[in-house]
Amino acid sequence: MRPATALVLCAALASTALLSGCGKETAGTAASPGATCASLAPLPDPAGRTWDDVRVISGKCGPSGAPSTGFEVTNTDQEPLTFTVTFSLVNGFGEAMDTITRTVEAVEPGQTVRRPLDAADGPGSARSYRARIMKVRAVPADGAPTGDGACPSSGVRITNDRGDAAMGLRVVGIHLTNCSTADYELNGYPALRLLGEDRKPVSGVRILRGTTAISTGIGGDAEPRPVTLRPGESAYANLAWRNTTTDGDPVDAPYAEVTAKPGAAPVTVTPELDLGTTGRLGVGPWTKAPAGEGAPQE
């Protein structure tokens, strides 16, 4: 399986690396790696620690210079990207002990950024877990959620939740929050373009208005109504599908370009659509979220 775009992502692993002592996350370039991940060198390539162009490297990522664990991303695309990387932490017997996710925001074209992987236990921990890359997602930085709370230039944040699954039925919410200082108007359905692992368009999927054809009672079968979002208010639209697999090749679309309304700029989110061979995705209308209820965490 290939990573999300033409990129190089490197997980920095010491041979017996502790996930502690990595200090504050620090960005750098290939020529100037930054204080927290110095003296990087290739390691042997054991099974389970590669991801296409991902290579394993080791370094002294802690402020004390002790061996520790970090990772590196290089954006080889033509636009700034925000990377989200999921790691599995395994012990010396190869048993998965935990899963962690790290986000690297707004990596410029050609830029390399190195970050540590900190452990909750802190310095002196006896935990000696290794990190394995499980998943890499990269979306255009413009419109992507930002950790510092900055509002995108569009004036809205668009995200997806983790969704719900039961007996082959999947439901994921697309959430839009007005982070500007003016009202934001919605009416109708978000427009979607499904993208594969390589962020290229996926074909052969019918996008339906409403979710009734997929299942009833899941919050996407009402008629669309005008929605006015004041600053700080949110709206959502449910996506529904079944992941049944029969004849043919199953379709996976980890990414979706969401256009909130005509004329709006598309924003790429990661709903992780495992559509099976059903070839259908139902999209509910924009619905105003109850007062005080913002977009949930992904």
The pLDDT value recorded for residue 128 is 52
Q: Is residue 126 part of a domain?
A: yes
CATH code (residue 207): 2.60.40
- 120 and 171 together in one domain: no
pLDDT of residue 241 exceeding 80, the answer is: yes
List the structure tokens of 191. Answer: 């427009």
Range in 108-122, 160-174, 199-213 with the lowest mean pLDDT: 108-122
pLDDT band at 119 (very low <50, low <70, confident <90, very high): low
Q: Is residue 148 part of a domain?
A: no
- 119 and 20 together in one domain: yes
- Domain region containing 107: 7-140
- 26 and 132 together in one domain: yes
Torsion angle defined by CA atoms of residues 170, 52, 192 and 265, in that order, rounded to the nearest 10 degrees? 140
Say if CB 241 and CB 275 are below 8 A apart.
yes
Q: How far apart are alpha carbons 285 and 161 in whole angstroms?
A: 16
- 132 and 46 together in one domain: yes
The pLDDT value recorded for residue 212 is 93
- 160 and 132 together in one domain: no
Q: Is residue 213 part of a domain?
A: yes
The pLDDT value recorded for residue 3 is 43
Q: How far apart are alpha carbons 89 and 196 in whole angstroms?
A: 27
Q: Looking at residues 198-215, what average pLDDT do you find?
A: 93
The pLDDT value recorded for residue 89 is 76
Query: What total number of domains does the chain contain?
Result: 2
Compare 130 and 253 and report the one with higher pLDDT.
Answer: 253
Q: Is residue 76 part of a domain?
A: yes
Of these ranges, 30-34, 110-114, 138-142, 194-198, the one predicted with the greatest mean pLDDT is 194-198
pLDDT digits (tens, 9 = 90+) for 41-70: 444 434 445 443 444 344 455 445 555 567
- 53 and 116 together in one domain: yes
57 burial type by CB count under 10 A (0-12 exposed, 13-18 middle, 19+ buried): buried
Of these ranges, 11-15, 142-146, 219-223, the one predicted with the greatest mean pLDDT is 219-223
pLDDT band at 160 (very low <50, low <70, confident <90, very high): very high
Range in 41-45, 117-121, 154-158, 167-171 with the lowest mean pLDDT: 41-45
- 251 and 168 together in one domain: yes
- 101 and 164 together in one domain: no
Q: Give the E-state strand segments of 14-64 in sequence order.
A: 38-42, 55-60
The pLDDT value recorded for residue 29 is 38
pLDDT > 70 fraction of the chain, expressed in percent and rounded: 67
Q: What is the mean pLDDT of the chain?
A: 76
Q: Give the HSE-up count for residue 92: Cα atoms under 13 Å, Cβ half-sphere.
A: 7
The pLDDT value recorded for residue 37 is 52
Cβ partners under 8 Å of residue 161, min gap 6: 172, 173, 175, 295, 296, 297, 298
Q: Looking at residues 120-126, what average pLDDT do you find?
A: 42
Q: How far apart are alpha carbons 49 and 94 in whole angstroms?
A: 11
What letter would DSSP give residue 60? E
Determine how many CB atoms are found less than 10 A away from the CB of residue 126: 7
Q: Is residue 294 part of a domain?
A: no
- 172 and 135 together in one domain: no
